Amino acid sequence: MNVCVIGTGFVGVVSAAVFSSFGNSVTGLDIDPAKIEKLKEGIVPFYEPGLKHLLIEQQSHGTLRFTTDYKDAISNAEVIIVAVGTPSSKEGKVELKYVHSAAQSLAPFIQKGAIIVIKSTVPPGTLDTFQKIVEQYSSHIDFHMASVPEFLREGTAVEDILHPDRVVIGASEEIIFDKLITLHAPLNAPVVKLSPESAQMSKYAANAYLATRITFINQLADLCEHNGADIKDVIHAMGFDKRIGHHYWYPGLGYGGSCFPKDVKELAAYSRSVGLNDNLLNHLDRFNEERIPKFLKKYGETVGGWKGKKVAILGLAFKPHTDDMRDAPSIKVIPWLLEQGATVTGFDPKSLEAVPYFIKQHPHATYTDDLSAAVKDADVMMILIEWPEIIKYDFSMVRIKNKKQWIIDTRNQLDQQVIIAAGYDYVGVGR
């Protein structure tokens, strides 16, 4: 099958590489020449385990190529996958300018009977607008529309797309379902056939629910700190209820990354646009935004104030196995500590290439990919992200005798008793 993927960001590159590995002829399309040239050389603009090998392999097999030429990419495409960015506005509303631009650019070259698949996260009603734009700029209107949302997790995206829990296809014609089911058949995953509107809402609903779980367990953790309970024990006990489960309970500083904050904000803004101003969605974002400042003030009281303290921030990305710093705890924590007079060193094994723009804004902190250098002589070591390099590190090696030192474990990943035995003051979340 001839497939074009518009947009070579995280979702686009992963999708293009995997669909080409199934024997399809895939063209990745982007308006950024520098990005396209790097991809041709096998250089992935972000860190994602397993992706670089797949990218190079499929290009060498001739099943995957990249271009900036819309006519070249679109003219022979049976399926056109739109995977461009949909950022949020200051008000939280989804910004669709890149989606609409793609519609206008592809319209003159679309072939008869082609299926345009919106993979970008968009609100219900977007397909209608997209279709009208294509019809306005196309010489014919014999094409089809569908919504196939992605459910990829950064750090495990290749594994996620190869072994998905489900493939959600939103369409209104059987011919579209049949074609897209064939395209996704090698995944051997359950296919959920929905209307486009239900498919789009399913993506927002999944992310909003997961954000709700994180917010819920955070609030329970806050209660535990007032009554002697341990949130890890609470999670263990309630997880035996089959309706709840032990999975996906992450007490800490809140949710971050490129999806949860954006999608919650967008769904909340959408709810307000239809008159639902005081629902749960509108409170989730506020709870999450307030959490880091609240905890930093509390931690400051614990360590006797931040001024003059040497602080090691361990983990700059928003989660392990990615270099993505979008809405990562570090981009809020580091500036706050600097303003309080702390000396800050940030460590991350993969994010240093993504740090330069951040360094320009906060040049008074230092950054390293050497964990031992980061924690040397530190008064406070604050674990923000559970990279294996951090969790497996022997902190007893850098313990300074007769010096008061704290380890703040915002992910509850370290063995509390081991850290205390090494001579540190241990601070967890909800413990």
- In the chain, residues under CATH classification 3.40.50.720 are 2-194, 195-431
pLDDT tens column, 350-401? 877 767 777 778 888 999 999 999 999 999 999 999 999 999 999 999 999 9
Give the residue-averaged pLDDT of 102-116.
96
Q: What is the pLDDT of residue 91?
A: 84
Superfamily of domain 2-194: NAD(P)-binding Rossmann-like Domain (3.40.50.720)
Q: Is 220 exposed, middle or buried (0-12, 13-18, 19+ CB in 10 A)?
A: middle
Per DSSP, 97 falls in state H
Q: Which amino acid is at 415?
A: D
pLDDT tens column, 287-307? 999 999 999 999 999 999 999
Please report, for residues 8, 44, 243, 342, 357, the alpha-carbon distance to residue 351 in angstroms, rounded to integers and kept in the order given: 20, 14, 37, 22, 12
Quick one: CA dihedral 314, 320, 325, 330, positive or negative? Answer: negative
Give the residue-averaged pLDDT of 164-179.
96
Q: What is the pLDDT of residue 341?
A: 96
Per DSSP, 158 falls in state H
CA angle 411, 257, 40 (to 5 degrees): 125
Q: What is the pLDDT of residue 359?
A: 79
Q: What is the pLDDT of residue 258?
A: 82
Give the residue-averaged pLDDT of 167-189.
96
Task: Find, among 175, 257, 241, 244, the residue nearest to 213 by Cα.
Answer: 244
Cβ contacts of residue 121 below 8 Å, gap of 6+?
A: 86, 94, 149, 150, 200, 203, 204, 259, 262, 263, 266
pLDDT at 174 over 90: yes
Reading the block at residue 80, the tokens are 């056109």
Predicted confidence band at 323 (pLDDT cuts at 50, 70, 90)? confident
Predicted confidence band at 346 (pLDDT cuts at 50, 70, 90)? very high
Q: What is the pLDDT of residue 268?
A: 92
pLDDT tens column, 36-91? 999 999 988 888 888 999 999 999 999 999 999 999 999 999 999 999 999 988 88
pLDDT tens column, 134-147? 999 987 778 999 99
Residue with the two structure tokens 């099943």? 63
Give the residue-averaged pLDDT of 312-340.
93
Choose the weakest-confidence range: 31-40, 225-234, 252-261, 389-398. 252-261
Q: Helix H segments across 249-303?
A: 260-273, 280-302
Reading the block at residue 143, the tokens are 């094409």
Predicted confidence band at 155 (pLDDT cuts at 50, 70, 90)? confident
pLDDT tens column, 116-132? 999 999 999 999 999 99
Rounded CA separation 203/208 (Å): 9
Quick one: CA dihedral 184, 190, 196, 201, positive or negative? Answer: negative
CA angle 275, 276, 281 (to 5 degrees): 145
pLDDT at 180 over 90: yes
pLDDT at 153 over 80: yes
Q: What is the pLDDT of residue 360?
A: 78
Give the residue-averaged pLDDT of 244-249.
94
| Other Cβ atoms closer than 10 A to 246 | 12
Rounded CA separation 253/425 (Å): 19
Average pLDDT, the chain: 94
pLDDT tens column, 212-223? 999 999 999 999
- Please state which CATH number belongs to domain 195-431: 3.40.50.720
CA angle 343, 349, 350 (to 5 degrees): 110
pLDDT at 156 over 90: no
User: What share of the chain in percent tops pLDDT 70?
Assistant: 100
pLDDT tens column, 22-33? 999 999 999 999
Task: Find, among 85, 92, 71, the residue nearest to 9 by Cα.
Answer: 85
Residues classed as catalytic: 259
Please report, for residues 81, 125, 139, 375, the alpha-carbon distance to residue 5 in angstroms, rounded to integers and kept in the order given: 5, 22, 22, 43
pLDDT tens column, 157-170? 888 888 899 999 99
* Cβ–Cβ < 8 Å for 367, 345: yes
Give the residue-averaged pLDDT of 7-14.
93
Q: Is 146 exposed, middle or buried (0-12, 13-18, 19+ CB in 10 A)?
A: buried
